[in-house]
Structure 1
């Protein structure tokens, strides 16, 4: 086959394959990739710069077994809860890894092709896809030490014999960026003698060797299966660490970006509505590179948002949050941000590098510890431990302030945080526990020995039903969240790609302006992030005098366009010229 006779898809694949695998027969390997993934060489390309999302899209992040009822598979229980209570709020469901695993609550995968029987089966996943868009995890950097692949590696059999990254113990790996404090290499007895394998995260999570093209083919088979099962949104877990080259940082390497471009190319040609999200818990300027030139991730996690927003609300100053927002480039059409402020993991602190000083970071960690949180560390370049993550439920994290400790404003503070998230450019994602204000689960931490368990509570169905009908804060949070989401979903100015400008209204008021893509609707989103009343002068906003202005939250009409508004502690207004 002459290169001139290649289809456009084959020509684009050729560029990626030659970069990643210069020693393979590129033409043969391209054919193998297409055959493995089930794509014809002349498959039509997706429409470029298309936004397969709108202001109506809201993500729910949850484990498959967060909700358990007697004599029912957890996926059934979860589906029933979403269908009956959240169908009008949620459009995308991120079901965290539902595969057989050996540790890390699913992120140490033993078998990528089956559903954990105690959760349900593939038909249960298919049931979700008939009512929601489903996001699935592609745990691509590593797999379980108890997987068939690793068992085969130890005995020298295939598949698996050459699927893992090895390094001699005397290799200089001092430049490697670490997310953990555990030793990078694990000694393993194999049929060929003692070997040392690479373990970025834990000794149960063995890093896969993507220098071997057969590993890529394995993941193409896995992705094809997920697409066949109806999964369309793909979260590439820990993808920043994918490619290893000793003597480098082994994070964000050019080959990693090349691999993401290759995967996106194939996935989009197989399913035009497919979406790739990169999970890269790294400093903000590095995270932004995963958009590529609108040819890598469709969405990137806004990892700097959680720590900066929490910091703003507990200090009463949005100085650093505002500076960050002003530095964020508008996402190109066909790309956007995934905004979240809580997840199954803790609050990552690497994304604050260059944004918060060491003193400010220490104050934040100390405050979270006073609110019942824990702090985990990683090994820094100097070999010393550095704060990596705060483990705490969002409800507890926002239970008070740095200056005064816990107070009675937690509910207002909690809603303000989510109002900000919902109003920002991007697609909002709610951790299921944030929808009900679940508190720290210290008992689960004691049981598992894992700090992240503090925010991974498992609800018994009858207990959750009782709590949502009780007198505490969960029913109030649940109702308020649904109301906020419903308002957001009607506003064209809250489209993930609508225009956004940061406003200068002082450090206690976090404010920005959104405008719909047809320029018909404007929203001034103004949030008091302090525990003191704050005044906003409407004259500063330059409201168009011919428009009628209306607060979407209070439903108050503002006839006086140059008057003042006094915002209570943590009160917010979404001032718009179009009532939807």
Structure 2
């Protein structure tokens, strides 16, 4: 993956109707801004109950967006990351329908993970409580087969998302076949979606256990053999994230979004500085994604302290709600149909009270900390919370999944804010200092200074948090010493 800013987007929510239209936009209106693009699920169907993360057919591009040849064309013009949905298939898939029709005689019987494949006897309440849950309620859904038999099936996320047995031969073959299709289409990187939940073992949390690491490592090696890099998506306690990073190509720095809010809200960089001392370097940095703003990534776990005191974290969450005029409350936790109760659903721009200066400072911090920065399409356009979409779907995360028209995009591209944001993106893409050494300069906690040095070139980000002033200076042989902001 190029050490340049990457775009995260749905194909059909960024003013485009197809993959080919997106390719044209990246080469025209957004030319030069992104070293690659992470395409959120484009499989059939894109409009399932979980916005494509519940594919009926993982190896078929939704025909409304195009086909694999269109993706191959895009991959020639720009690096492409795609999601490998590791944990589950759709309840509407042909495989699961065959399972319900034929039961144990189905060729897909071993693909579907039933409760009795993990627990030989009825699961106790104590064992259920051990299972790490992304949502309230039981991790199982009972389905009736055609012959009348009832089976409890693992459904970690929703009853429409059927967990697969990744330890079975057919489960392994299912994932490998997707990798092969990706390779032929020119996909250069995959994000392992929900991989932390893929391995279930009785008596454990069924989340990021030893066997999960082994599974991820095995799948990573298979991807690498096809020339595909791997990003693992895990929301977890920060020390667990550090350990995971040692074993994979890339992880997300999911602690960063809240730490940046902490830095700005409290005019205090101490928690962020402490994290940068220990944070892994093989990371993809984000402030926003198609999911919410994660809390578990900085919170305490049991008697282990988090990156931010829990009392401070509670105030940060409350400040998000205040800044969004409580619109985020309507999309968070039990207020809507949320899969992840440990996330706050809100656009990052609204989380900062729609303050353009604060938002530019937040992005500058993201671009200067170690890692490859990704920018979510709503964040690219400094989007507001989409209350109309939330009202229509009652899906909390839809508040940050707006469908942009070309007219809306054109209006943003003409704005003063976007001109500054574009200048920052291009600087991050083009300055050679970001391929060098990183250091946090010693300052008071109401200031933050980050520096990159590569031979004779350097770039420094300096922020006065008390006055919310941003300053970026740099040096190279062509420009000599100059001020970007």
The answer, yes or no, to whether TM exceeds 0.5 is yes
Once the two structures are superposed, residues 197-221 of structure 1 have per-residue CA deviations (whole angstroms, 9 ceiling, x without a partner) of: 1121111112111121220111101
Residue among 278, 283, 290 paired with 2:232: 278
Once the two structures are superposed, residues 99-120 of structure 1 have per-residue CA deviations (whole angstroms, 9 ceiling, x without a partner) of: 1143211111110111112222
Aligned position for 2:19: 75
Aligned position for 2:446: 508
Residue among 467, 471, 474 paired with 1:572: 471
Q: Contact conserved, 1:64 with 1:98, CA < 8 A, in 2?
A: yes
**1:134 Cα deviation from its structure 2 partner:** 0.4
Distance, in Å, in 2 between the alignment partners of 1:442 and 1:377 is 16
- After superposition, where does 1:94-109 map in structure 2 within 5 Å? 94-101=38-45, 102-109=48-55
Distance, in Å, in 2 between the alignment partners of 1:356 and 1:386 is 20
- After superposition, where does 1:358-397 map in structure 2 within 5 Å? 358-370=310-322, 371=324, 372-374=327-329, 376-377=332-333, 388-397=342-351
Aligned position for 2:191: 235
- After superposition, where does 1:44-123 map in structure 2 within 5 Å? 53-54=2-3, 57-68=4-15, 73-101=17-45, 102-123=48-69
**1:436 Cα deviation from its structure 2 partner:** 1.5
Distance, in Å, in 1 between the alignment partners of 2:100 and 2:382 is 46
Residue among 138, 141, 146 paired with 1:186: 141
**1:195 and 2:151 equivalent?**
yes
Distance, in Å, in 2 between the alignment partners of 1:309 and 1:464 is 26
Aligned position for 1:321: 272
**1:391 Cα deviation from its structure 2 partner:** 0.6
**1:412 Cα deviation from its structure 2 partner:** 0.8
**1:79 Cα deviation from its structure 2 partner:** 2.3
- After superposition, where does 1:48-447 map in structure 2 within 5 Å? 53-54=2-3, 57-68=4-15, 73-101=17-45, 102-155=48-101, 156=103, 157-167=105-115, 170-171=123-124, 172-191=127-146, 193-271=149-227, 274-292=228-246, 296-329=247-280, 331=281, 336-353=282-299, 354-370=306-322, 371=324, 372-374=327-329, 376-377=332-333, 388-399=342-353, 410-447=355-392
1:420 counterpart SS class? helix
Distance, in Å, in 2 between the alignment partners of 1:312 and 1:98 is 36
**1:242 Cα deviation from its structure 2 partner:** 1.2
Q: Contact conserved, 2:19 with 2:74, CA < 8 A, in 1?
A: no
2:469 counterpart SS class? coil
Note closer, same or farther for the CA distance 1:506–1:386 as it changes in structure 2 (3 Å cut).
Answer: farther
**1:350 Cα deviation from its structure 2 partner:** 0.8
Distance, in Å, in 1 between the alignment partners of 2:411 and 2:268 is 37
Once the two structures are superposed, residues 76-114 of structure 1 have per-residue CA deviations (whole angstroms, 9 ceiling, x without a partner) of: 332222110222111111110001143211111110111
- After superposition, where does 1:20-35 map in structure 2 within 5 Å? none
Q: Contact conserved, 1:63 with 1:95, CA < 8 A, in 2?
A: yes
Q: Contact conserved, 1:110 with 1:143, CA < 8 A, in 2?
A: yes
Aligned length: 453
Distance, in Å, in 2 between the alignment partners of 1:190 and 1:279 is 34
**1:462 Cα deviation from its structure 2 partner:** 2.9
Note closer, same or farther for the CA distance 1:203–1:386 as it changes in structure 2 (3 Å cut).
Answer: closer
Q: RMSD of the TM alignment (CA)? A: 2.1
Once the two structures are superposed, residues 380-425 of structure 1 have per-residue CA deviations (whole angstroms, 9 ceiling, x without a partner) of: xxxxx9950011111111127xxxxxxxxx1111111111111111
**1:173 Cα deviation from its structure 2 partner:** 1.9
Q: Contact conserved, 1:181 with 1:377, CA < 8 A, in 2?
A: no
Note closer, same or farther for the CA distance 1:480–1:207 as it changes in structure 2 (3 Å cut).
Answer: same
Larger Rg: 1
Q: Which runs of 5+ in 2 are unaligned?
A: 117-121, 300-305, 480-485
1:86 counterpart SS class? coil
**1:170 Cα deviation from its structure 2 partner:** 3.2
Distance, in Å, in 2 between the alignment partners of 1:573 and 1:489 is 15
Aligned position for 2:483: none
**1:578 Cα deviation from its structure 2 partner:** 5.5
Q: Contact conserved, 1:235 with 1:276, CA < 8 A, in 2?
A: yes
Distance, in Å, in 2 between the alignment partners of 1:462 and 1:74 is 17
Q: Which runs of 5+ in 1 are unaligned?
A: 1-51, 379-384, 401-409, 470-474, 534-568
1:112 counterpart SS class? strand
